[in-house]
Amino acid sequence: MRITEYGTSLFHLRQLDTNRTREDQISQQLSSGRRFLADSEDPNSAAEAQVIRRQAGYLALYRENIVRARSTMSYADSVLDSATQLLYKAQQIANQAAGSFLPSSQLKRSAEAILNIRKELVELANSSLQGVYIFAGAQNNIKPYIFIDPADPTNTNPDPLTSYVAFRGDNNDREIQVASSLDIQDTMSGIQIFATDIYPSPVPSPPPAPANPEDVFETLRQMAEAIRQGNIQSGTPSFTQMAPLLESARARISESRGALGARLNLIQQVEFDLQDQELQLQTRLSSVEDVDIAKSVTELSLNQAANQATLYAQGNVMKSTLFDFIG
Amino acid sequence: MAGLFSILGFTRQSMQVQQAAMETVKNNIANVNTPGYSRLRARITENAPIREGKLIFGQGASVSEVQALRDRFIEIRLAQEQKKSGYYSDLSTGLKQLEDVFNESGQNGLQKTLQDFFGSLLELSSDPSNISLRQGVLLKAQTLTTNLRTKALTVQELKEQANGRVDFLAGKANDLLNEIDDLNRQLVQTEAGSIDSGALRDKRNVALQELGQLMEVSSYEAPNGSLIVTTGKGRVLVSETGERTISTSISGTTGTSRVLVDGTDITDELLSSESGSIGAQLDFQTNILADVSTRLDLLAQDLRDRFNAVHQQGFDLLGNAGQAFFVPATGTISATTIQVGITDPKRIAAAGVGSTPGTSAGPGDNTNIRALYDFSQQLPSTIPIPAALTGMTYSDYLLQLTTDIASQTSNANDSLETQTALILQLQRQRESVSGVSLDEEATDMIRYQKAFEASSRFFSVINQLTEEVLRLAG
């Protein structure tokens, strides 16, 4: 094959161009830390990276949902704890009143104390977090528990000590997604906790007494009434009738707390799992996207050596011709 | 036997032969860096001898021809490969621009904005009455539609750029056709006396190769030396009588370029990898860009149709039935026209149907927002799913789109790389036949110089002999 100056220069230029391109590519890889900057450099890996990033994105969202659910559930748990304490206190007052031969004035004070506890319990049942009533079911933008004057349902300022407590929420439990195939209930309706039925709307006149015999507010009201009247063993209502109902109300709230606690534990576990999954995804993403620095640096050195050799060879090959030696 | 004066004549001729050969060396050295130049060689042949009795006397040498050394087979291969190179070069450039638009590794990837939108629905499902979360859904939806619109408009811009480039390349092709036609005329005149006009042929070859980079052409030489150039399908572009004109127009229906030769549409003939830069631009806009636009439009339409359908089954924070989330709610919609139809965050229909039909399940209910979020996981089938979307989520659909673009770009880059290497090999092969080697020219120069010196020395000797004869006679 004949060798010409132009043919040689074409070859060397191509070699230099290839070396420079590769050098530039490695340099960009090293400065960015990524194995490929454009998807076309490795379409399969780029697609895999997209899928991993998408999965990681969902995991981050699930974790945000967990944080939000935990906040709501922890708040509900602390409210129910207070409610349990209140009912325990009510039980103590009632037991003390029933077990001692107290004068009627003292019984009245005990009854008032129980009705005050009832009022506090209504406040707790109306607890809200960031404007959302946590025991109202799906109707969470309105206060779920209100007092209704049995004599006049239109009375906007009824006496809390004599009124019925009506529930205006619903039994709609909300489920939120906390993992790819796991939904968890993050709300709890007052129906389950306080055994309150949904009150008819609009309220009829005269308003009916709460229908559920285990309604905690009605139990407290009737217990107060029994104590006030001194009905311990007999009469309607009587302490003997109401004491088991009060106990079961406290037990129900404790059970609700237990259910909440179990769910809190579950989401804690799910969060750990999500963290593990995120770590695995990050590792996978790193293996797909990240540059192998040691390998790239070595390759860069080799490439630079090849480039210098090409330059040296080109400089020497093209430096002299026969014309240089003709006198 | 020749006389002294006759010998002087032969010697003069010998010196002229070496001088002519030296001329080719001069021209070769001058064109050592001229692209497409074919080196010249003086073909020195012995003159026919004469017979005198039983003796045969040689009659010296003469330059019978100045040849331009070229290998027609290599030239044809080079032209063929250069049209592929032109095709892949333009296609690769276009695809790189398209890939930049759909770069998913950045913060503005369509996948990311889509996922952010669906993520905002998931967030809202955890607290459906939260206004700031609702605002977040609207914001992410607007980012999604803006991103979709921007990408679709950029694809349209790329299409328009391709139109401009086709027009420019067609103009360049016309210049080259004109140049080949001019060179044909000059060459026919020059070679009328069977003289190989190397310089004109080289120029014509270079023009033909440049034309080959622009579009698929075939060529053959007519008996009079004219180069007949046709399209790949045999449509004449340059004949012995002149050249045809290539023109372009924009299709009223697709907005893409059409290429015409003397008014006849040849666009479809140019849609192949053999069709140089013009073919690449046509292929890019007719097949690749049009496909991307169609896929984006389908996404916009399906989002509008099926997302809206689910949204309208739910109830907003005020208890009203859900309205169209994406607009225009009816009629034609595309990726460039899709918008979010809701401005009040309370109007997002997050709640499902309550116990009483036609009423909301309540502001805290998340049934419908969950159903909307399910779009990101699996596509519901209450409305017929387009074939292109069957069995995949929107994210899968977009992943397929971006992966297709990346793969096409990668393939075009690889093909361009291969073509560049192949062309380098062919160029080196051509150089080994037609290129100028300075070492070789230096050797030839010394050879011809020495022959010239010997001839002139011989001339001097014969001259002295002639003078001696004249002196003796005098």
pLDDT in tens, B407-422: 999 999 999 999 999 9
Q: Do B360 and B297 fall within a single domain? A: yes
Q: Which residue of B has its CA nearest to A173?
A: B365
Question: Is residue B328 over pLDDT 90?
Answer: yes
Note whether B126 contacts A39, CB cutoff 8 Å.
no
According to the model, what pLDDT value does residue B196 have? Answer: 58
Sort out which chain B residues have CB atoms less than 8 A from A46's CB and list them. Answer: 104-105, 402-403, 406
Shortest distance between the Cα of B2 and any Cα of chain A, in A, equals 38
Shortest distance between the Cα of B152 and any Cα of chain A, in A, equals 19
For A138, the closest of B123, B363, B431 (CB atoms) is B363
Beta bridge partners of A176: A184
For B435, the closest of A7, A11, A72 (CB atoms) is A7
pLDDT digits (tens, 9 = 90+) for B46-60: 989 888 888 888 888
According to the model, what pLDDT value does residue B72 have? Answer: 85
Helix and strand totals (H; E) in chain B = 11, 13
Q: Which residue of B has its CA nearest to A138?
A: B364
Q: Determine, yes or no, domain membership for A181.
A: yes
Kindly report the CA angle at B391 between B387 and B392, in degrees rounded to 5?
Answer: 100
Q: How many domains does chain A have?
A: 1
Shortest distance between the Cα of A84 and any Cα of chain B, in A, equals 26
| Section B6-29 average pLDDT | 91
Per-residue confidence band for B2, with pLDDT thresholds at 50, 70 and 90? low
Shortest distance between the Cα of B49 and any Cα of chain A, in A, equals 35
Sort out which chain B residues have CB atoms less than 8 A from A59's CB and list them. Answer: none
Q: Do B411 and B349 fall within a single domain? A: yes
Q: Within 10 Å of residue A103's Cβ, how many Cβ atoms?
A: 10
Note whether B442 contacts A321, CB cutoff 8 Å.
yes
Q: Do B247 and B296 fall within a single domain? A: yes
According to the model, what pLDDT value does residue B232 have? Answer: 84
In the structure encoding, which two tokens stand for residue A156, read together? 């906007």
| SS (HEC) of chain A | CCCCHHHHHHHHHHHHHHHHHHHHHHHHHHHHCECCCCHHHCHHHHHHHHHHHHHHHHHHHHHHHHHHHHHHHHHHHHHHHHHHHHHHHHHHHHHHHHHCCCCHHHHHHHHHHHHHHHHHHHHHHCCEECCEECCCCCCCCCCCEEEECCCCCCCCCCCCCCCEEEECCCCCCCEEEEECCEEEECCCCHHHHHCCCECCCCCCCCCCCCCCCCCHHHHHHHHHHHHHHCCCCCCCCCHHHHHHHHHHHHHHHHHHHHHHHHHHHHHHHHHHHHHHHHHHHHHHHHHHHECCHHHHHHHHHHHHHHHHHHHHHHHHHCCCCHHHHCC
Please give the mean pLDDT across all residues of chain A. 90
Per-residue confidence band for A199, with pLDDT thresholds at 50, 70 and 90? confident
Of A55, A43, A36, the C-alpha closest to B400 is: A43
Return the H-helix or E-strand segment holding B249: strand B246-250
Q: Determine, yes or no, domain membership for A300.
A: no
Please give the mean pLDDT across all residues of chain B. 90
Q: Which residue has the tokens 């379409």?
A: A43
For A10, the closest of B95, B407, B428 (CB atoms) is B428
For A326, the closest of B127, B355, B442 (CB atoms) is B442
Centroid of chain to Cα A219: 34
Note whether A4 contacts B125, CB cutoff 8 Å.
no
**Which one is predicted more confidently, A297 or A2?**
A297
Q: Determine, yes or no, domain membership for B429.
A: no
Q: Do B15 and B148 fall within a single domain? A: no
Q: Which residue of A has its CA nearest to B440?
A: A322
Q: Determine, yes or no, domain membership for B434.
A: no
Which amino acid makes up residue B80? Q
Q: Determine, yes or no, domain membership for A219.
A: yes
pLDDT digits (tens, 9 = 90+) for B453-465: 999 999 999 989 9
According to the model, what pLDDT value does residue A209 have? Answer: 83
In the structure encoding, which two tokens stand for residue A284, read together? 């996978």
Q: Do B56 and B124 fall within a single domain? A: no
Q: Which residue of A has its CA nearest to B396?
A: A51
Does the model's ipTM exceed the 0.90 cut?
A: no
CATH no. for residue A255? 1.20.1330.10
Exposed/middle/buried for residue B89 (C-beta within 10 Å: 0-12, 13-18, 19+): buried
Q: Do B85 and B63 fall within a single domain? A: no
Q: Which residue of A has its CA nearest to B33?
A: A6
Note whether B402 contacts A326, CB cutoff 8 Å.
no
Note whether A14 contacts B420, CB cutoff 8 Å.
yes
- pLDDT above 90 as % of chain B: 62
Q: Do B321 and B297 fall within a single domain? A: yes
Note whether A4 contacts B105, CB cutoff 8 Å.
no
CA separation for the pair A203, B108 (Å, rounded): 54
Q: Do B323 and B384 fall within a single domain? A: yes
pLDDT digits (tens, 9 = 90+) for B233-264: 889 999 988 889 999 999 888 888 999 998 88
Residue A315 phi, psi dihedral angles, 5° rounding: -60, -40
Q: Within 10 Å of residue B251's Cβ, how many Cβ atoms?
A: 13
According to the model, what pLDDT value does residue B456 have? Answer: 93
Least confident of A245-249, B91-95, B104-108: B104-108
- In this structure, chain B runs to a length of 474
Question: Is residue B271 over pLDDT 60?
Answer: yes
CB burial string A196-230: b at 16+ within 10 A, e below: bebbeeebeeebeebeeeebbbbbbbbbbbbbbbb
CA separation for the pair B187, B149 (Å, rounded): 56
Q: Determine, yes or no, domain membership for B64.
A: yes
According to the model, what pLDDT value does residue B78 have? Answer: 86
In sequence order, the 6+-apart residues with CB closer than 8 A to the CB of B104 are A39, A46, A50, B110, B111, B112, B402
Q: Determine, yes or no, domain membership for A33.
A: no
According to the model, what pLDDT value does residue A113 have? Answer: 95
Report how far apart, in Å, the C-alpha atoms of A173 and of each of A134, A170, A189, A261, B59 are.
11, 9, 7, 17, 119
Per-residue confidence band for B384, with pLDDT thresholds at 50, 70 and 90? low
| Section A82-101 average pLDDT | 92
Cis bond before residue B49 (omega within 30° of 0): no
Sort out which chain B residues have CB atoms less than 8 A from A323's CB and list them. Answer: 438, 442
Eight-class DSSP state of B322: P
Asked if residue B216 lies in contact with residue B82, where contact means CB atoms within 8 angstroms, the answer is no
Q: How many domains does chain B have?
A: 2
Q: Do B59 and B82 fall within a single domain? A: no
Note whether A4 contacts B436, CB cutoff 8 Å.
yes
According to the model, what pLDDT value does residue B349 have? Answer: 97
Per-residue confidence band for B106, with pLDDT thresholds at 50, 70 and 90? low
CA separation for the pair A271, A259 (Å, rounded): 18
For A172, the closest of B361, B373, B436 (CB atoms) is B361
| Section B278-306 average pLDDT | 92
Note whether A5 contacts B446, CB cutoff 8 Å.
no
CA separation for the pair B409, B412 (Å, rounded): 5
Q: Determine, yes or no, domain membership for A117.
A: yes
Note whether B438 contacts A322, CB cutoff 8 Å.
yes
Shortest distance between the Cα of A157 and any Cα of chain B, in A, equals 26
| DSSP-derived secondary structure for B145-164 | HHHHHHHHHHHHHHHHHHHH
In sequence order, the 6+-apart residues with CB closer than 8 A to the CB of B9 are none
Q: Determine, yes or no, domain membership for B322.
A: yes
Note whether B96 contacts A321, CB cutoff 8 Å.
no
CA separation for the pair A66, B218 (Å, rounded): 69
For A132, the closest of B119, B125, B364 (CB atoms) is B364
Note whether A176 contacts B119, CB cutoff 8 Å.
no
Shortest distance between the Cα of A43 and any Cα of chain B, in A, equals 6
Which amino acid makes up residue B263? G
Question: Is residue B107 over pLDDT 70?
Answer: no
Q: Do B330 and B444 fall within a single domain? A: no
Q: Do B163 and B107 fall within a single domain? A: yes
Domain span including residue B466: 4-69+440-473
According to the model, what pLDDT value does residue B192 have? Answer: 66
Interface with A, mutate which of B96, B317, B346, B428 (most A CBs under 10 A): B428
pLDDT digits (tens, 9 = 90+) for A267-277: 999 999 999 99
Note whether B406 contacts A130, CB cutoff 8 Å.
no
Q: Within 10 Å of residue A105's Cβ, how many Cβ atoms?
A: 8
pLDDT digits (tens, 9 = 90+) for A141-195: 899 999 999 888 888 888 877 789 999 999 988 899 999 889 999 999 999 899 8
In sequence order, the 6+-apart residues with CB closer than 8 A to the CB of B60 are B10, B13, B14, B17, B46, B47
CA dihedral for B29, B30, B35, B40, sign (positive or negative): negative
Q: Determine, yes or no, domain membership for B432.
A: no
Q: Determine, yes or no, domain membership for A272.
A: yes
In sequence order, the 6+-apart residues with CB closer than 8 A to the CB of B285 are B158, B159, B162, B163, B256, B257
Strands B227-231 and B217-221 come out as antiparallel
Sort out which chain A residues have CB atoms less than 8 A from B440's CB and list them. Answer: 2
Eight-class DSSP state of B385: P
Asked if residue B402 lies in contact with residue B104, where contact means CB atoms within 8 angstroms, the answer is yes
Which amino acid makes up residue B167? D
Note whether A132 contacts B129, CB cutoff 8 Å.
yes
Shortest distance between the Cα of B66 and any Cα of chain A, in A, equals 20
Domain span including residue A271: 52-281
pLDDT digits (tens, 9 = 90+) for B163-219: 999 999 999 999 999 999 999 999 888 876 555 567 888 899 889 989 988 998 888
Return the H-helix or E-strand segment holding B466: helix B438-473
Note whether B435 contacts A1, CB cutoff 8 Å.
no
Phi and psi based region of residue B36 (left: phi greater than 0; alpha: psi -120 to 50; beta: remaining): left
For B431, the closest of A4, A50, A326 (CB atoms) is A4
Which amino acid makes up residue B435? G
Q: Determine, yes or no, domain membership for B426.
A: no
According to the model, what pLDDT value does residue B134 have? Answer: 96
CA separation for the pair B107, B328 (Å, rounded): 28
Shortest distance between the Cα of A151 and any Cα of chain B, in A, equals 30
According to the model, what pLDDT value does residue B195 have? Answer: 57
Question: Is residue A291 over pLDDT 80?
Answer: yes
Per-residue confidence band for A7, with pLDDT thresholds at 50, 70 and 90? confident
Q: Do B147 and B175 fall within a single domain? A: yes
